[in-house]
């Protein structure tokens, strides 16, 4: 059984007058230590799939199971717990809290989960992303690449089994972007974390174990491990 199992998932949004099908019959498996890239144009459903995988939303039909727990069977508190214990997020625009220092940003998920030893773990993660010297800096005092490193350290703070990265290099120049991709690959391989990354950049192919192509809400290549 894979760590993340997505089976025949369809997601329909009802925000406007006509329903919009964001995902249709998508299936996917990701195992621990895998670095998987979801590639496709803007609006093809990559982010929606990440949100479903990260227990942020429910599918309209089909099933998402994370470490054997099916998200549709959980209430909001259960989803929060599942997310808190198993998932880390990395965003395109870093999404660091401006009111907190780098170390405090990394500590945040641990504090929210009421886990002890937050500072020690945060500093350890910062060291791992080579940002320990910047622990007391505020986000506006850091470059884009540095902020994304902090964001990765934050995503890893709670020892997640799945790390979801939504266009993590979208706001970075090429060389900084490559450094971040290398860091994500190292994360998958050294920590044994499953990394699922949404991207539209072709350069990521050199860093990932698998590339899955999406188009108009459908998976073009086989996402399920045989």
Footprint on this chain of other proteins (rule: CB under 8 A): 47, 51, 54, 56-57, 76-77, 80, 83-85, 87, 89, 91, 93, 95, 97-100, 108-109, 111-114, 140, 154, 158
d(Cα 61, Cα 156) in Å, to the nearest integer? 30
Residue 73 or 98 having the CB closest to other proteins: 98
Whole-number minimum distance, CB 206 to other proteins, in Å? 28
Residue 21 or 210 having the CB closest to other proteins: 21
Whole-number minimum distance, CB 31 to other proteins, in Å? 23
Helix 144-156 to helix 118-128 angle (10° resolution) is 130
Whole-number minimum distance, CB 92 to other proteins, in Å? 9
Whole-number minimum distance, CB 89 to other proteins, in Å? 5
Residue 93 or 174 having the CB closest to other proteins: 93
Dihedral pair phi/psi, residue 198, rounded to 5°: -90, 130
Which among 60, 64, 52, 71 has a CA at the least distance from the CA of 11?
60
94 CB-near residues (< 8 Å, 6+ apart)? 139, 144, 147, 148, 150, 151, 171
């Amino acid at each position: 059984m894979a760590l993340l199992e997505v089976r025949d998932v369809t997601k329909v949004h009802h925000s406007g007058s006509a329903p919009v099908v964001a995902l249709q019959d998508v299936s996917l498996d990701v195992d621990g230590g895998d670095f998987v890239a979801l590639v496709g144009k803007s609006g093809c459903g990559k982010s929606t799939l990440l949100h479903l995988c990260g227990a942020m939303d429910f599918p309209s039909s089909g099933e998402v199971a994370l470490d054997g727990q099916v998200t549709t069977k959980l209430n909001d508190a259960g989803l929060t717990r599942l997310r808190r214990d198993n998932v880390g997020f990395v965003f395109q625009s870093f999404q660091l809290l401006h009111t907190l220092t780098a170390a405090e940003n990394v500590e945040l998920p641990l504090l929210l989960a009421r886990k002890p030893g937050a500072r020690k773990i945060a500093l350890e993660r910062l060291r791992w992303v080579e940002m320990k010297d910047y622990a007391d800096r505020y986000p506006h005092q850091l470059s884009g690449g540095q902020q994304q490193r902090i964001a990765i350290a934050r995503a890893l703070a709670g020892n997640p089994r799945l790390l979801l990265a939504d266009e993590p290099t979208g706001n970075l120049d090429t060389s900084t972007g490559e450094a971040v991709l290398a860091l994500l690959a190292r994360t998958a391989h050294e920590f044994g974390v499953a990394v699922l990354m949404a991207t539209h950049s072709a350069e990521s192919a050199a860093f990932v174990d698998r590339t899955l192509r999406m188009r108009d809400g459908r998976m073009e290549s086989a996402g399920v491990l045989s």
